[in-house]
Amino acid sequence: YHKIGIVGAMAEEIELLHKHVVKTGSFVKAGIEYTEGTLHGHNVVFCKSGVGKVNAAVCTQVLIDAGADCVLFTGVAGAVAPSLNIGDIVVSTSCLQHDFDVTPLGFARGQIPYQDVWEFQAAPDLVELAASACERLFPGRSLKGKVLSGDQFIASRDAVRGLYEELGGACTEMEGASLAQVCAMNGVPFVVIRSMSDKADGSAHVNFAEFTIQASVNSHAIIDDMLRHL
Ligand code: ADE
């Protein structure tokens, strides 16, 4: 890759990138700041997206227009697969918008009408690179699976059970599938890496608040390890 786009959801994580990237420039577009530089010999451009699908879509397109030829996303998510515990990591094999709902017109849950593809596949080489980084750093605590995104913080047992049983999700968050769709529209490879901050159930709001800083450190470590081994 000539230039690696990195999107973080959290300020804590972007601060770690600011610390470690050797900077060559920065610019602002649509109110979001982008920083360019090098990390372990690779050209990178990174930003903090802000929360939600629209923010993630805009910054992904800006990264691609700035020359990013692959995009990595790191942040936290609510665990959906019952085998996952807080602190475990999900590497996306694919991403789907769980809140896309045109079911009254006969479309499947998550389906984008009149479009062949609505579950966007992550790049196999980036998935393997991320999965190996997880195995090196957090052995036995990661899985590869489907990342479900929506403009909703999921915090009930019924909602999270539905995401697992109806959509087969591994985790749920608020940006991945939007970044994935923009990458697919541009033919740019991507992978989403998420540390589990909560189980998207009745305790999710408490666990989320507790876990953010550790998760930022963990996901930064994964990105760092990936670039070392690329
Ligand atoms: N990010 C972290 N936890 C989440 C949850 N439960 N729902 C949506 N996004 C999240």
pLDDT score for 104 = 98
Give the ipTM: 0.99
Q: Is 76 in the pocket of ligand 1 (CB under 6 A)?
A: yes
How far is Cα 81 from Cα 84, in angstroms, rounded to an integer?
6
Reference 73, options 150, 1, 154, 173; nearest CA is: 173
Atom of ligand 1 nearest to the CA of 154: 7
Q: Is there an atom of ligand 1 within 6 Å of 147 CB? A: no
- Measured in Å, residue 224 CA sits from the centre of ligand 1 at 24
Decide: 141 and 225 in contact? Cβ < 8 Å. no
The Cβ of residue 106 has, within 10 Å, a number of other Cβ atoms equal to 8
* The 3-state secondary structure of 89-111, one letter per residue: EEEEEEEEECCCCCHHHCCCCCC
pLDDT of residue 46: 98
Rg (CA), the chain: 16
Amino acid at 68: A
Give me ligand 1 centre to Cα 130, in Å: 21
Q: Is 176 in the pocket of ligand 1 (CB under 6 A)?
A: no
pLDDT, position 212: 83
pLDDT of residue 211: 87
Q: What is the pLDDT of residue 9?
A: 86
CA of 152 to the centre of ligand 1 (A): 8
Q: Ligand 1: does its nearest atom lie under 6 Å from the Cβ of 175?
A: no
Q: What is residue 10's predicted lDDT score, i.e. its pLDDT?
A: 84
| Closest of 7, 230, 19 to residue 126, by C-alpha | 230
Contact 49, 7 (CB under 8 A): yes
pLDDT digits (tens, 9 = 90+) for 48-83: 999 999 999 999 999 999 999 999 999 999 999 999
Angle among Cα 76, 81, 83 to the nearest 5 degrees reads 100
Q: Which residue has the tokens 């196999």?
A: 124
Cα separation, 59 vs 54, whole angstroms: 9
Establish whether residue 197 lines the binding site of ligand 1, counting it when its CB lies within 6 angstroms of any ligand atom: yes
Contact 41, 56 (CB under 8 A): no
Catalytically active residues are 13, 198
Predicted local distance difference test score (pLDDT) of residue 13:
85
CATH code, domain with 159: 3.40.50.1580
Regarding the beta carbon of 153 and ligand 1, being less than 6 Å apart is answered: yes
What confidence score (pLDDT) does residue 108 get? 96
Domain extent, residue 132, equals 4-229
Alpha carbon nearest to ligand 1 atom 2, residue: 77
Q: How many domains does the chain have?
A: 1
Using DSSP, how many helices (H) and how many strands (E) does the chain show?
6, 10
Q: How far apart are CA 78 and CA 32, in angstroms?
A: 25
Atom of ligand 1 nearest to the CA of 173: 9
pLDDT at 215: 86
Mean pLDDT per 10-residue run, the chain (230 residues)?
94 91 98 97 97 98 98 96 96 98 97 97 98 97 98 97 98 98 98 95 88 87 96
- pLDDT value, residue 164: 98
